[in-house]
C-alpha cells in the first residue's frame, strides 16, 4: 500500500480521478490502489479505483454503475468479513433493469462504460477502530478484482465495527468427493453439482500449513443477484481433516445466502492465501 502522501477524503464515495488513481483498465474489469488517507473523522484508507464494463453489466445495471460493485474486506486477524456496495441511503435501491434472458440474448456490444471512483474503505464497510490488516477486493456478479493486502490505521471514531454475520462452519462438509475439482497452485476451485435441481457446490484446495490452529485458512462467500444479499463462512485450520494435503469439501450455496424465492443467480467465491477463486455462477430456486 502506498504511504508517501495523504489523500484527502471528501465523502465516503466520490467520483473523480485523483493523483493516486490507477489508469482505466484496458480489459473489462476493475482495478484499485489502497492509499493512506485522512477524513473528517481521522486517519483511514481510501481505495482509488477505476473500471471498464460492457455487456451484460451495462444491460443489467445501466446508469447505476459503479454503485452495484461490492467492496469486500477480510480481517486477517479475526477472520471477520466486511462487505457493502456503494449505494448510499439517498439513492434508490439497486435493481436489475433487464431479465436474465434478455441479458443473455443481447448482442455483444463494442462499447464500454468506464470511469474512476474512490471509496473511504473504513467508513463504507464499518471497520472497527483498531488497526488491522485486511484482504480487500472488488466484486460484481461473476467478476472480481485482484486481492490486495491493506493496512488500516487505528481510529477511535469508528467504534466497534459492523462485520457481516457469519454462518456456522458445520455447513461445509469435508471429505473425499469424486465430484470435487482438482485445485491448482493452492487456489480454491469450485464447481456446481451436475445433478438436476442440486445446487450443491463442490470445492477443493491445498491449504498452506497454519502457524496457529485457530487461524482462518478458507473463506467461502455467496451473493444473490436480484436480492443482493451476501453471506459467508470461515474455516479454521483446526477444522480441517488434514492441514497439509489437498482438501475436498461441499456445501449448499443457499446455506450461505438467503434469497426471497425469486428465481435468480447466486455467485459463489472462495478466498485463501492464494487469492480469490474464479466466481461460480449457479441458479437458485
Task: Classify domain 169-284 by CATH architecture.
Answer: Sandwich (2.60)
Q: What is the pLDDT of residues 46-71, one digit of tens each?
A: 999 999 999 999 999 999 999 999 99
Residue 110 in this model has a pLDDT that exceeds 80: no
CB 46 within 8 A of CB 121: yes
Map residue 24 onto helix, strand or coil: coil
The grid coordinates listed for 276 are 480469490
Domain ranges of the chain: 2-158, 169-284
Which helix H or strand E contains 275, and what residues bound it?
strand 275-276
Closest CA relative to residue 264, chosen from 221, 219, 229: 229
Please report which residue ranges of the chain form alpha helices under DSSP H: 57-61, 100-105, 121-125, 253-256
Question: For residues 184 and 81, which has the higher predicted lDDT (pLDDT)?
Answer: 81
Q: What is the pLDDT of residues 10-38, one digit of tens each?
A: 999 999 999 999 999 999 999 999 999 99
* Confidence tier at 107 by pLDDT (50, 70, 90): low
Amino acid at each position: 500500500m502506498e504511504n508517501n502522501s495523504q489523500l484527502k477524503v471528501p465523502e465516503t464515495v466520490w467520483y473523480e480521478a485523483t493523483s493516486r488513481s490507477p489508469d482505466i483498465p484496458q480489459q473489462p474489469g476493475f482495478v484499485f490502489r489502497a492509499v493512506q488517507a485522512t477524513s473528517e473523522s481521522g486517519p483511514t484508507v481510501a481505495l482509488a479505483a477505476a473500471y471498464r464494463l460492457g455487456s451484460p453489466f451495462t444491460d443489467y445495471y445501466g446508469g447505476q454503475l459503479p454503485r452495484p460493485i461490492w467492496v469486500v474486506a477480510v480481517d486477517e486477524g479475526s477472520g471477520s468479513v466486511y462487505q457493502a456496495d456503494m449505494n448510499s441511503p439517498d439513492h434508490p435501491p439497486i435493481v436489475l433493469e433487464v431479465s436474465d434472458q434478455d441479458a443473455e440474448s443481447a448482442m455483444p456490444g463494442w462499447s464500454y462504460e468506464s470511469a474512476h471512483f474512490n471509496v473511504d474503505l473504513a467508513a463504507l464497510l464499518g471497520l472497527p477502530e483498531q488497526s488491522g490488516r485486511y484482504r480487500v477486493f472488488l466484486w460484481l456478479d461473476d467478476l472480481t478484482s485482484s486481492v490486495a493486502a491493506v493496512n488500516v490505521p487505528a481510529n477511535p471514531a469508528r467504534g466497534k465495527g459492523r462485520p457481516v454475520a457469519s454462518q456456522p462452519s458445520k455447513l461445509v462438509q469435508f471429505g473425499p468427493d469424486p465430484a470435487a475439482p482438482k485445485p491448482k497452485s493452492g487456489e480454491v476451485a469450485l464447481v456446481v453439482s451436475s445433478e438436476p435441481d442440486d445446487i450443491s457446490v463442490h470445492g477443493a484446495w491445498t491449504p498452506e500449513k497454519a502457524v496457529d490452529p485457530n487461524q482462518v485458512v478458507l473463506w467461502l462467500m455467496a451473493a444473490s443477484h436480484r436480492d443482493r444479499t451476501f453471506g459467508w463462512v470461515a474455516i479454521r485450520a483446526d477444522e480441517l481433516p488434514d492441514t497439509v494435503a489437498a482438501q475436498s469439501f461441499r456445501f449448499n450455496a443457499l446455506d450461505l445466502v438467503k434469497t426471497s424465492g425469486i428465481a435468480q443467480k447466486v455467485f459463489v467465491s472462495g478466498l485463501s492465501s492464494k487469492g480469490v477463486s474464479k466466481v461460480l455462477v449457479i441458479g437458485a430456486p
